Amino acid sequence: MKWILSSSFTLLVILLMVDHLDNEVFKFFSIHYWILLFLLPVFCHAFLILRFLHPAKDLLSEEERNTTEHRGMYLTLSGFSFSAFFALVIAASASPSSSEILGASIVLMLLSFMMFYGAFSYEGFKFYRWQVEMVSAMSETGKMSLLASILLAIFSANLASYINIFSLLSFIVFWSTNFGIQLSLRYRYLSAFQER
């Protein structure tokens, strides 16, 4: 309930601050439609919750919660994203020629920080299996944003084309393999509870 109220209040503040927000958002997504790719982890983990609805409603044991270890990892990653965010802002102000690409990189790094910090915060009060999926979706979105931000920063450096292609392929292979393995393991894990 608090989350819904805080989100509604934030949306109201944004609507009051920006005129014609709906046109700006539509224009942004029509130009940068690739950003919708960052909803992929959310949809995949939502599918797992809906597919295994009964196990998702179960309370977690203390061993499954393991909040201390996970929170430490998310805090470290959010600190890294926050530091890189400021470094990119400084780089964009020093190099106005590539500021559009660096601007997108800054937005992605900010998204990465918010997702990792959100996962860190929410990890402390997860009690159900569906909340684990939610934290995982936030973490995966943060990882994807972090890698994409680094990739865009590489593209803004005007390096040789083979370096850009190698970086892009590395990003796609690394993230998709990691995400696929994680989803497969979560699917098997939750299906074991479904069979009981």
Would you say 145 and 78 are in contact if contact means Cβ atoms under 8 Å apart? no
pLDDT of residue 142: 92
Euclidean distance between CA atoms 126 and 11, whole angstroms: 25
Beta bridge partners of 128: 59
Length of the chain: 196
Main-chain dihedrals φ then ψ at residue 113, nearest 5 degrees: -60, -45
Residue type, 36: L
What per-residue confidence (pLDDT) applies to 168?
84
Q: How far is CA 50 from the centre of its chain?
A: 20
**Alpha helices in the chain, H assignment, sequence order:** 2-17, 21-31, 40-51, 53-56, 62-65, 67-94, 99-123, 129-156, 161-194
- pTM comes to 0.78
CB-based contacts of 117, cutoff 8 Å, min separation 6? 74, 78
Q: Tell me the CA distances in angstroms from 120 to 23, 24, 73, one per residue in order.
A: 33, 31, 8
Blockwise average pLDDT, block size 10, the chain, 196 residues = 52 53 52 74 92 89 75 82 82 68 81 90 87 92 89 80 85 89 92 76
pLDDT for the residue numbered 96? 65
Whole-number CA gyration radius for the chain: 19
pLDDT at 1: 45
Predicted pLDDT of residue 124: 81
Cα–Cα–Cα angle for 46, 4, 55, nearest 5°?
35
Report the alpha-carbon distance of residue 120 to residue 105 in Å, rounded.
22
Residue-level pLDDT at 169:
87
Single-letter amino acid code for the residue at 5: L
